[in-house]
Amino acid sequence: MPEGPEVELEKLHEAIKEEMEHEGGSFLRSIAMSTTVLAAVAAIASLQAGATVNEALALKTDATRLQAQASDQWSFYQAKGLKAAVAEASETAWTATGATPPTTYGEKRKRYEEEQKEISAKAKELEKERDAKALEADELLHRHHGYANSVALFQVAIALGALAALTRVKLVWYASLALGAAGIVVFALHAIH
């Protein structure tokens, strides 16, 4: 008595393999290759997006620090202005009484006014530096948005590639390739800018 029906598995395995080749084995390999390339470029774009946003944040921090230093200088400027005003008021009080004011009042007032000029120049220089850092940070943030947009395009393209592999619909794969190409263009435009 036979143990069971005899099925030649080797021929069945070969028939399945041939059918897979015929049905889309090369198509699946093409999807896998394109998706792998898109994933690699997406990883690079993602790293660039992270690097540019980190650099922009560091520049914004520097700009904030410079603004604080400029504000300190302007406070110092105002303090010198108040001291000059007090010296002038004291000098005026002496003059109003008909007395000759001590020369120290006039000397102090002039010294404070000269110090104000130096402080003002330093504060303006700090503000100029702040503005340059803020502008550079804004440019980096713009570049970051471009990288982030390219990463989003790559992610959708990869998802469409997976869908194409599951459904074996070439039109979906072509859409994946088109979005991937758009992602590469967006990435390249921001990388060379």
Q: What is the full per-residue pLDDT of the chain (193 aa) written as tens digits?
A: 445 444 455 654 465 556 556 656 788 888 999 999 999 999 999 999 999 999 999 999 999 999 999 999 999 999 999 999 998 898 888 888 888 888 888 898 899 999 999 999 999 999 999 999 999 999 999 999 999 999 999 999 999 999 999 988 999 999 999 999 999 999 999 988 7
Residue 61 is predicted with a pLDDT of 96
Task: Give me the residue spans of the domains in the chain.
Answer: 37-192
- The CA distance from 58 to 140, in Å, is 11
What values do phi and psi take at 3, rounded to 5? -75, -25
Residue 98 is predicted with a pLDDT of 85
Give CA angle at 59 (53, 61), nearest 5°: 105
For helices 103-167 and 26-96, the axis angle rounded to 10 degrees is 170
CA 170, 176, 182, 187 dihedral sign is: negative
